[in-house]
Amino acid sequence: MIPNPTERFTGRVESYRRYRPGYPPELVEWLRTDCGLSNDATVVDVAAGTGLLTEILLAAGFAVTALEPNDEMRAACASLGTKYPKLRCIAGTAEATGLPDASADLITVAQAMHWFDLERTRAEFARILKPGGGCAVIYNNRRLGGDAFHNGYERLLREFGIDYMNVKEQHVGRRRLAQFFAPEEMHCHVFPNAQSLTLGALEGRILSSSYIPQPGHPRFAEMQAAIRQLFTETQQNGTVTIQYDCVACWGRLS
């Protein structure tokens, strides 16, 4: 486990809210058709952050409890309540949600499973799920190479990321997810996803990552110069595009 994951995004909320990639709307239809999610289902979005996935679920009409331990992130997520009355936003962790037994039809986790103690999380999720309920784990997996921009982006993160490789190595891939759901079967689907970014948006996207130096760090100015150089060398018509595979895996927890 990486130390103190709860506070890693303090000071990055605005960058995260504005510049992290969203999730394809087709994801909701997949949950309905392939995973049997009914329109009146109660959803718990764990480690909801600023509410990127939460908002998609709310817009589809679901009642959502957004669970987020970081105060700044949770406040940003709670602001969605002015538009979506079916939102409840509370403090809690994956390992200790504070929710009642058998209270959720679906648990969602977007871009966060690698921060959890998986053994304790599995026990807690199984406790709060209703009989027959399931869990969907979703990741926007960034393309790591293949062209000048994606190659350069990965080099930049390796060069300036404070503990980038440690975070990367903790990523929860399909094999670990299958172990999390075992002995139940896991079902996965991949959705194409992408971000088109101006220079300012690219800078914000990079700063949204918990391992990237913030203003005041000794290498911050050097990193900003490297971002500008990468953008200048690879932009087309004033933007660069980050390509993702949005991987969604769903299963029940017996």
Measure Cα distances from 239 to 91, 116, 135 in Å.
37, 35, 36
pLDDT in tens, 198-222: 999 999 999 999 889 999 999 999 9
- Distance separating alpha carbons of residues 40 and 21, to the nearest angstrom: 27
- Distance separating alpha carbons of residues 169 and 1, to the nearest angstrom: 11
> Is residue 1 scored above 70 in pLDDT?
no
Six-digit token pair at 136? 């969907």
> Is residue 189 scored above 90 in pLDDT?
yes
Structural domains of the chain ordered from first start? 5-142+167-194+244-252 (3.40.50.150)
- Distance separating alpha carbons of residues 162 and 183, to the nearest angstrom: 37
pLDDT in tens, 11-46: 788 898 999 999 998 999 999 998 899 999 999 999
- Distance separating alpha carbons of residues 246 and 23, to the nearest angstrom: 7
